[in-house]
Amino acid sequence: MTGMAHDPDLAREAIRRTAIFMVTLAVLIIAPAWSLSYWQGWLYWAVFSALVALLGGYFLKHDPALVARRMHAGPAAESRDRQKTIQTFVSIAMVLTFAFPGLDHAFGWSSVPPWLAVFADALVAVSFWIMYRTFRENSYAASTIVVEERQHVVSSGPYAIVRHPMYSGAVLMLLATPIALGSVWGLAFAALTIAGIVWRLLDEEEFLRASLSGYAEYCERLSWRLVPYLW
C-alpha cells in the first residue's frame, strides 16, 4: 500500500476523474434550472464537490488501494449480469435525482424553505462522514461487488451497527439531496434510487454469503442492514 501512495499515475487519474465528475454534476444540477441564480444548486454543488475532493485526497494519501478499487464503477465494471442491470437502473435514477430539482425550480412545482435546504446540505456532510468511517474501516469497499484474495469480513466500526454502512450513508445523502436542491417532488426519484440500492444490497448479500468466508455468520450476528432497529 505504501508504494501505491506515491503512484503519480493513480493520483493523476483520480484527479482527472474527480474534475470530470464535478463538471458533469454542475451541468446536471444547474442546466435544468435554466438560471445561474439557482443558489440551492450552487450551494449543493459546492458542498458536494468539496466533500468528494476531501474524501478523495485523504484516501489517496492514506489508502490508495481503496481509491484504485473505487475507480472502477458503473454497470460496465460489474462482472455479473444482474448487477449490470441493477447498476444501470441506479445510475439512471441517480441522474434524475440530481437533475429533476432544477426543472422543479424552473417551473415552480414545489418549494423548500431556505433554512431547510441549508440543513439538508448539512445532512449531506453527515452522509459523507458515514462513508468516510466506512472506508477507513474497510479498504475492500470497492465500487463493484467482488471478493478478493485475502479479503475478510469486517465487523468493527460502523459495520458493528449495520451490515451496509456505506449504503446507509448513500441513503441519507439521497434523501437530503432533493431538499437541499429546493425540490419536494425530487424525493420521488431519490426513492427510486434507494429502491435500486436495496435491490443491489440484497443481491450483494446473496453473493457474499456464497463467496466470502464468515459472512453468513456475520449476518446471523447482526440483523440490521441499513437502519438500526428498523431494517
Specify the pLDDT at position 6. Answer: 62
Helical residues (DSSP H) of the chain, grouped into ranges: 2-5, 8-30, 39-62, 64-70, 81-107, 114-137, 165-180, 187-211, 215-221
Domains in the chain: boundaries: 2-221
Specify the pLDDT at position 3. Answer: 42
Low-confidence ranges of the chain (pLDDT < 50): 1-5
pLDDT tens digits along 107-146 = 999 999 999 999 999 999 999 999 999 999 998 887 777 7
**Global confidence as pTM:** 0.92
The set of residues, in sequence order, having a beta carbon less than 8 Å from that of 109 and lying 6+ positions away, is 103, 183, 185
Specify the pLDDT at position 151. Answer: 85
As assigned by CATH, the class of the 2-221 domain is mainly alpha
Cα 10 vs. chain centroid, distance in angstroms?
21
* HSE-up of residue 198 (Cα within 13 Å, Cβ side): 12
Dist CA 187 CA 175 (whole Å): 7
Specify the pLDDT at position 2. Answer: 40
- Residue 122, C-alpha cell as written in the block: 448539512
